[in-house]
Structure formats: structure tokens, C-alpha cells
Structure 1
Amino acid sequence: MQDPAPSRPPTAVVLGGTGCIGRHVCTAFARHGYRVVVVARRPAPHVAEHMFRPLDLLTASAAELDALFRDADVRASVVVNATDMAGATDLTSAADGGAGRAAELLAANEGLARTLVAALEGNPGRPRLVHIGTIHEYGPGQAGVPLHEEIEPRPANAYADAKLAASRTLLDAACAGRVDGVALRLVNTCGPYPTPAGFPGKLLPRLRAARQGAELSVRVVDARRDWIDVRDVAEACVLAAERPVSGRVFNIGSGIAVPMRELVAHCLSAAGLPDSGVTEEDRPGHGGVRGLGADWIQADIRLARDLLGFAPRFGLRQSLQDMWDAGATSR
């Protein structure tokens, strides 16, 4: 008798897999033994080792996604929505822009969530959907009080409102049994290859210029925010894909509210620059580093710890050092 053919490993389809978070999600699933399929408009060298499927997720239909997930070469076991449909270089700008911009953000984020639900609800394999949202869906927090999952969300801007609508679309469908899925609400991210839209990503080229002799002046607000390394985010996605939970939302963060001045000090240290040229703006929201609606962000991550087994591995200092080192070697 012939030995039975070995079973194929599970497949993780990463929507937005070429992005700043998506690339790390691809790496994490591959490290855990998954076949990875990257879905984006264009391929990218940093995910070239994975299977690639070109698709514009802003315009893709449920039928197109359904066909992709069922394709014989794919057969999705997990689908990760790692897209960030801000459509702007600066997330703060994405949060503004009037009614027209708000409608555009809502259509992009909640529209993709509806399309994903429609594509997955008839799939006989019941792929697990992991949706990446944002801590800003809760709206402004209270100083000294961690944000937990039972708080009633009150988003303070168009971007957060659109992300909340997408999360609710998925969670409502999961609670109704139409799909198998969970949502992760991320705090601010840092680590290797940061998004240019976030504060570390904006600071990085200025640090490089300062290393070449340019004057460096950084103004930060007197605020505290929670930061999580993108590699810890990616690991949380794997945990969320594998744990027997559905219809739940989990906060993913470090659980520590860090002064912005401390964050900048770590960045300067990583770049080998003196801790100077930094001033604090004592009136949050009036200049300096603008946030997306909160001067204090601290996630309560106990639910993710208890149900997913999540625990951050990278401290902030190490994360920012790795960010600098990765940027130095990729130029």
C-alpha cells in the first residue's frame, strides 16, 4: 500500500500583506508553519517568498474574494484583514476632511468588512477571520484608567468611526454565526519598518538627517500613550487565528502608558544622538504631536492574555532600537 499523501499545511491569506503591519503578519504565520498568501494591489520585495494574488481590495467584490479563498491553490484556513483603509499619508489628516472624507473612510473600511462577511459566510471550510482594528474606536480615555473591551465605544473622529463600523460589521456577523471571526484593537505601533503615517515613522528620517549633521528639533505634547511592537501584533494575529473564540474583540497593547517625551528619548538613544532639542507642548492638541483623540491611551490587555495567551515580547526600548537598526540596513 502507498502511504497517504501528506496533508498540506493550513493557509493564511493576509489582506494588505505588503503593508507595515501585514508584512510582519506574513512572517509570523510562516514561522508557525502556515502557507501564506499575500493579497494587495502590487507585489513587494519584502514578501516575495510568499504566494501573491493581486487584488484591489477597495473595489473587490464578494464573489472575487470568495473565489480567491476557495481557490485550489489557496484554500484559506485563516483570513487576516491587515488593511488600513485610511487612504492618506497622515492618519491625522485622514481623521479630518469634512463629511465627504468621512463618507469615503466609512465606505472603504466598513465596505470591505461587509464584503468579507459576504465572501466567507458560505465557505464550507469556515476560515477564521482576524480583523485588525484600532484602540481609537473607544474614543478618548480617562487619565489613569486603562481601556477595556466592555467600554461603550465613542470614536472622536472620522477615521476611528470608520474603523469601529468595520469591527462591528465583523463582530455582528460572528455573533450571529454567519462567520468565524474576531477583532483586535491595536494601540500605537512601533518596531521595524514603521508606517510613515505614525509618529515613529515620521521621526525616523529626521533622526537619519540629524546623524548627518542636520539640526534636530522635536516638539511633543504632554501625553501618555500605549505602544506595541508590530511583531507582537503579528503574534497576536496567529493566537487569534488558533484559539477557539469567535465574536470577541481583544485589546492588543503593552498595557503601559508611556510619556511621549520618554518615547523620543528612546528613539534618540537608538540613533546614537544626544537627548536634546526636544521640547514639550504643555497644551495637548495645540501644536506638537497630534493624536487621534486621546492624551492618555493605555490598553487593558487582560482579556487577550487570558483567552488568547497573548503577552508582549518586545519592550519599547528594544522595539525602537530594532526600528532604527532595520532602517539603517534597508537604505
Structure 2
Amino acid sequence: MTVVVLGATGFLGRHICAALRDAGRPVRAVARSGPTPVDLLHSAPQTLAAVFDEADAVVNAAGRAWQADARDMERGNVLVVRTVLDALRLTDRRPRLIQLGSVHEYGTAEPGTAMAESRPPRPLTPYGRTKLEATRAVLDAVDRRRLDATVLRVANVCGPGAPRGSLFGLVAAAVHEARQARRADRTPPALRVSPLRAHRDVVDVRDVADAVVAACAPPAAVTGRVINVGAGRAVHMRTLVDRAVALGGVPLTVDEASGGGPATAADWQLLDIALARRLLGWRPRRGLDDMLGHLLSPHDPPLTDPSWRG
């Protein structure tokens, strides 16, 4: 099975490409700069269709979240998806589409409750709203055009290479800087973040990549479905940050009062992942310390894939 990965140079895309190659799947990495250079924002459906005709599955890991305004998110999260759907309609092979959605499509929930796929989405942010619009476009295309597609609605993702604008990217950068400061015998600057009051479902990026691999060739029962992919646990964000700092092994002050980190309106997010276990045979395998240790590691999956020419 050959898999095209859109947004292959991004945080999720790199890890997904690595997991697919580890599973023995030939991968074609598509991004503005990469083995297959394509600007998804400015490409015609016919251009993408020529790429998709060589694939058995297409994974859309492209999108805009951090350091983007509402217009950027509309273009990156919605218009790109509509172009991808138009391109799939033009292909002869009709590869399966795996669209990566977001827990932020749901918004927030009552503390202690898990959000199943049947829960009506009520996004609270432009990011959540644009991701939900993309999800609805994919599901509508399945109904109208008989495309083979599924949406993996992914929890908050943690791992090396996390965007600097994200909480996990800020934590990793601060720990790295604190390690450098210790070697230079100086005091590191404080880690400044927004108030860490929320409880979130946070999943290891490797577990997300494993779910994508599983979704590339499951039974037809996944077609037209939204499937939650998360850790199945809600972690208090202050607890998570404190544990990451402890695992980093360096003295680092966490300052919630000064801001500087991402703010969000969702105070409780916990995904019900029973459907992923049943339909994909998938479950998260990494615990909290494993996930945070991986976040703080220098590991960054390579893009090079000898199976394809750039």
C-alpha cells in the first residue's frame, strides 16, 4: 500500500511518515518543501489528482493552528480540504482519505465526562470551527461522491517537534534552554504560560501515527465515520508541565501570571476512544512519563524516503 502524506514536513506529518515507513508502507511526502513539493494553498485539484493517482491512501496532516489568524485557518483547514476532495473525485484509483480532525471541534465538556463521537460538536475557537467545517466537508463528500474517507478526531498531541507556539513546544524549548543555562552556570529565564487550569486529553504523537497506520487499510466500516484518537485520560495541565520540568532534570520556574502561552476556552477535554479500539484495533501505548520524555528528546523523524524521487 502506497500512502501520500500531505503536510509531511509538519509536526504530525513527520511522525506519520516515519510510522508508515516503519510499517513497510511506501510513502510519498507532500509539502511546500520536501520530496514532493506542492503548495496546497495554491494548487489546482488536477495537480493533486496526478499525485493521488499513485496512492492507495491519502493522509491529510496539513493545516493551520498556531500563530495563525482566522483567515489563515479558514484557508489552511477548510479550503485545502475542499481542494483535496475535488482532486480525489478526479482520480481513477479513488484512494482512501484519512483526514486529521481535532478534539477542539467538540469544545469543552462537563468535568468527569468523556466525549464520544455521537456528541454534538460545539467548538469554541476559530481553530475548532474550521476543523469542524473540514470534517463536515469530508463526510458530505463521502455521502455525495461515494469517496472512501474517515476522520480521526485527534486529542491534544505531544511530542518532539511540537510547534513553538503550543504549550508543549514552549515547555520543550524552556527545558532545552534551562539545560544550556546550567552548562553555562547561569539562571534560566522562567517558563511563562497562560493559567494552567484546564484538564486535557493529551496523546503521544507516536500513538497518533500508529492510529493513522491502522486507518489506512481497515474494514470498510470506517468509511464516513469520525473516530476519536486520544489517550483516554484527562491530565491537569499544571501537573503535566511540572512533571515535564521534573523529567527535564533542571531547575525551571513556571510563571502562570505573566502569560505568554496559548490561551483556550476548553477547561475539560476527555475523549472516549472505544470506537478506535473496536474499528481500528488501536489503543494508546505510551504513558505520561514516556510521552514527556519523548517530548524532551532531540529526536526528529527524517523526511528522506528512498522509495520516491523528489
How does the TM-score come out when normalised to structure 1?
Answer: 0.82
Deviations 1:78-129 (A, max 9, x none): 100000234xx43xxx3xxxxxx43442233221111111111242322110
User: Equivalences for 1:117-128 in 2 at 5 Å?
Assistant: 117-128=85-96
SS at match of 2:4: strand
Alignment of 1:159 onto 2:132: no
Shift, 1:289, TM fit: 4.8
Shift, 1:221, TM fit: 2.1
Distance 1:241 1:169, change over 3 A: same
Q: Distance in 1 between matches of 2:223 and 2:165?
A: 31
SS at match of 2:296: helix
Shift, 1:142, TM fit: 1.7
- Select 1:257's aligned residue among 234, 239, 248: 234
What is the percent sequence identity of the aligned residues?
A: 40
Query: Would you say the 8 A contact 2:192–2:254 is kept in 1?
Result: yes
The answer for the alignment partner of 1:98 in structure 2 is none
The answer for the alignment partner of 2:11 in structure 1 is 20
SS at match of 2:11: coil
Deviations 1:146-185 (A, max 9, x none): 1111111111121211111111111111133531000111
Query: Would you say the 8 A contact 1:136–1:293 is kept in 2?
Result: no
Shift, 1:287, TM fit: 4.9
- Select 1:200's aligned residue among 151, 168, 173: 168
Query: Would you say the 8 A contact 1:106–1:161 is kept in 2?
Result: no
Q: Distance in 2 between matches of 1:293 and 1:178?
A: 36
Shift, 1:41, TM fit: 0.6
Compare relative contact order (CA 8 Å, sep 6+) and give the higher one, 1 or 2.
2
SS at match of 2:286: coil
Shift, 1:216, TM fit: 2.7
- Select 2:158's aligned residue among 190, 194, 197: 190
Aligned residue pairs, count: 292
User: Where does structure 1 lack aligned partners over 5 or more consecutive residues?
Assistant: 1-9, 44-51, 95-100
Distance 1:179 1:324, change over 3 A: same
Q: Distance in 2 between matches of 1:204 and 1:31?
A: 26
SS at match of 2:122: coil
The answer for the alignment partner of 1:326 in structure 2 is 298
Query: Would you say the 8 A contact 1:17–1:38 is kept in 2?
Result: yes
Query: Would you say the 8 A contact 1:138–1:152 is kept in 2?
Result: yes
Q: Distance in 1 between matches of 2:142 and 2:82?
A: 12
Q: Distance in 2 between matches of 1:56 and 1:217?
A: 35
User: Where does structure 2 lack aligned partners over 5 or more consecutive residues?
Assistant: 182-186, 303-310
The answer for the alignment partner of 1:231 in structure 2 is 206
Q: Distance in 2 between matches of 1:109 and 1:168?
A: 12
User: Equivalences for 1:252-291 in 2 at 5 Å?
Assistant: 252-274=229-251, 277-278=253-254, 287=259, 289-291=261-263
Alignment of 1:299 onto 2:271: yes
- Select 1:113's aligned residue among 81, 86, 102: 81
The answer for the alignment partner of 1:241 in structure 2 is 216
Distance 1:103 1:20, change over 3 A: closer
Distance 1:258 1:55, change over 3 A: same
- Select 2:51's aligned residue among 63, 68, 76: 68
Query: Would you say the 8 A contact 2:64–2:72 is kept in 1?
Result: no
